[in-house]
Structure 1
C-alpha cells in the first residue's frame, strides 16, 4: 500500500464495523482470519498488516 499511515488509518476506520460470525466464516475457512486481542487497537493492527510491518506484527503473534 502506498497510502500515508494517517490516511490509511482513517480509511480502515471507515471500513470497520461489527459483523456476525456467519459473515466471518468464509474467511475462517480459508485461514484468512486473525484474532486481535481486545487490548489492541484493531485499526492499528490492520494498518500494520496492510503496511507489511513485519516487526510489529511478529511482536503481536503468540510465541514471539
Structure 2
C-alpha cells in the first residue's frame, strides 16, 4: 500500500508513537515473539515492538503496524 510506513528493526532507537498516543523509544522488533504471560497452549508467534519512555520508565509492547515514526 503506497504511503504506508512500516516500522522495522532498522528503526530501533527512534521515537515512535503507539495507537494510544504514548511516545517512546523503539527498543526492538521481534518477528516471532510469544508472550510468556499467555498460557503455553494459547501462545502464538506475533511481530511485536518493544518501546520505552524516552527518559526511562516501564517498557511496553505494541504491534509494529500500529506505530508511527516521530
- TM-score interval, normalised by the smaller of the two chains: under 0.3
Bigger strand share = 2
Bigger helix share = 1
TM-score (norm 1): 0.22
